[in-house]
Structure 1
Amino acid sequence: MVVLYGLIFLVVLVAFYGVGVYNRLVKLSTLVAEAWSGIDVQLKKRYNLIPNLVETVKGYASHEKETFENVTKARNQAQNATTVEGQQGAENQLNRALINLYAVAEQYPELKANENFLSLQNELSDIESDIEKSRRYYNGTTRDYNILIDSFPSNLIAGITNFKKAAYFEIDVEAERENPQVKF
């Protein structure tokens, strides 16, 4: 009889543990989705600002048609990305296109002094900072979620309940990885 009670107690204990792990997986999965939503909001702000920036630069550098088309194309691809991996690739293209747009703007001193351009540039810089913060939060939440999925014995429950690892969101801009050139 004692063995039966011990066995029942053990089964109940394992069931409670399983429910606890499942609930933690649901919580972290929801936090990952919420964190992605935060990135999405910041990216939409950025996408809405880019046409204004392009139009301002166009007024000064109308012959740079290819640069403007590349920015617009990259923006559209980024807006239409549906997965984290797709978004990551599209954001890399958009960042390269924006770097080219800023290179064009550097050639026009009167544009660099334009109040509207400076305002748009500052706003874009603020949004980029917010995207970075959102990306850090998303990646931190994704890390916690993925650790739970990979850890034993919670990985057994994750596998049974079909929880999958989430992808990290990393934007790879080669210019950011290069050593800065300092010249005096």
Structure 2
Amino acid sequence: MSGLNWTLWTVAALLLFWGIGAYNRLMRLRNGINAAFVQLDEHLSARAALCSKLLVLLEPLLSNEKATFDALEQAEAEVRASAQATRPRPYVAEPVGALGVASAVHAAALTRLMSMLEHHAELREHADLYALVDELKMVERRRTFSRQLFNQAVWLFNEAITQFPTRILASLYGFREARSL
């Protein structure tokens, strides 16, 4: 073999190993999005359970606030459906976008419920109610933190697929930009 052949084989091998390394890096970053979503999904499930308990407790006490309860139940159902659609592939933009919208609607309904609780002084004597509210606030803080971790994982992945020359390989491998919440 001539020197030119060795050079071509060396360049081809380097390109092959670089391509494999770039693919593995993108897969590692995409798996980071999956791992971050699993943590976020746990907090979404915990929030759903606490909201359900809270509504069961409040409905007999405030029967005239049915519209508020229905709005929260509907928003919770939308979040559950969106999270279910996002679970298999949290790096796909469409279901994550739907989850973001559903989460915003849920946050508005939950804020309305919390505001309503503050205006009903007669509820202050129910210690178990406020224990649930405190637990819900704690889960919300954890959910917010896990959402930040998810968004950071998405940002790292998106930055990696836009860098040259990985950008070329990302399109060849079928990697698309992920969406944050």
What is the TM-score normalised by the length of structure 1?
0.88
Q: Tell me the residue number matched to 2:13.
A: 12
Equivalence map 1:152-171=2 (5 Å): 152-169=164-181
Report the CA distance between 1:75 and its aligned residue.
0.7
Where is the helix percentage greater, Structure 1 or Structure 2? 2
Alignment deviations for residues 9-43 of structure 1 (CA, whole Å, 9 cap, x no partner): 11111111110000111111111111111111110
Q: Tell me the residue number matched to 1:182.
A: none
Query: Which segments of structure 1 move beyond 2 Å, counting only runs of 4 or more?
Result: 55-60
Q: Tell me the residue number matched to 1:2.
A: 3
Equivalence map 1:55-74=2 (5 Å): 55-74=56-75
What is the one-letter code of the residue matched to 2:103? E
Report the CA distance between 1:118 and its aligned residue.
1.1
Q: Tell me the residue number matched to 2:88.
A: none
Measure the CA separation in 2 of the matches of 1:107 and 1:19: 60
Task: Answer whether contact 1:60 1:108 (CA < 8 A) is retained.
Answer: no
Measure the CA separation in 1 of the matches of 2:124 and 2:170: 53
Measure the CA separation in 1 of the matches of 2:124 and 2:169: 57
Equivalence map 1:5-154=2 (5 Å): 5-81=6-82, 82=85, 83-154=95-166
Report the CA distance between 1:59 and its aligned residue.
3.1
Measure the CA separation in 2 of the matches of 1:106 and 1:80: 30
Measure the CA separation in 1 of the matches of 2:98 and 2:77: 12
Count of matched residue pairs? 169
Report the CA distance between 1:58 and its aligned residue.
2.3
Measure the CA separation in 2 of the matches of 1:117 and 1:146: 43
Unpaired segments ≥5 residues, structure 1: 170-184
RMSD: 1.1
Unpaired segments ≥5 residues, structure 2: 86-94
Report the CA distance between 1:108 and its aligned residue.
1.4
The share of aligned pairs that are identical, in percent, is 26
Alignment deviations for residues 34-63 of structure 1 (CA, whole Å, 9 cap, x no partner): 111111111011001101112222233211
What is the one-letter code of the residue matched to 1:31? G
SS of equivalent residue, structure 2 residue 64: coil
Measure the CA separation in 2 of the matches of 1:113 and 1:164: 53
Report the CA distance between 1:125 and its aligned residue.
0.9
Measure the CA separation in 2 of the matches of 1:40 and 1:116: 26
Measure the CA separation in 1 of the matches of 2:35 and 2:79: 19
Alignment deviations for residues 110-161 of structure 1 (CA, whole Å, 9 cap, x no partner): 3134211111111111111111111111111111111111110001111101
